[in-house]
Structure formats: C-alpha cells, structure tokens
Amino acid sequence: MNINELERKLKAAKVPASCYSIMKGGLPNEVYCLAAENGRWVVYYSERGKRSGETFFKSESQACDCFYSKLIKYAGK
C-alpha cells in the first residue's frame, strides 16, 4: 500500500481525519503521524509536542500497513 491508497482506505473506513496526520510534519496534538524522514519512514503518536511509540521502516508500504492497523480501530467513529 502507498500513501494514496492508505488515505483512500482510511476515508472508506470512515476513520476521522482528526485522528491522524500524513506527511504534514510538525507535532500536531493527539494524533498518529506518518512521515518520511532522512530516507526512511516513521510512524508515531504525537502528543503535547512529543513523539512516542516511534517505529521506523525502510519502505512506504510497511509504514502504511502499520499506520492503517493502528487507525482502523477508529473506523466509523
């Protein structure tokens, strides 16, 4: 899965956009984030200006799969 497919799947599952940030950078409050940094991909939770639970990936596909699995629990809410 790539970023475009991920965004379509999240929208189709009705995951609220207020729960996540994709490729926007910064430290938004209380959202899951997916970003490309220094040639690798990172998934983390951003809260109060801090990153927690950082997981790094070599491929976009792996990062998108991880991100989707974290967010699907918010489907339809």
Q: In what order do the strands lie in the sheet with 20-22?
A: 20-22, 31-37, 40-47, 50-57
Model pLDDT for residues 26-56, shown as the tens digit of each residue = 889 999 999 999 999 999 999 999 999 999 9
Q: Give the confidence band of 25 by pLDDT, cuts at 50, 70, 90.
A: confident
pLDDT of 77 higher than 90:
no
The per-residue pLDDT of the chain, averaged, comes to 95
pTM beyond 0.85: the answer is yes
Q: Give the confidence band of 76 by pLDDT, cuts at 50, 70, 90.
A: confident
Q: CB of 33 within 8 A of CB of 21?
A: yes
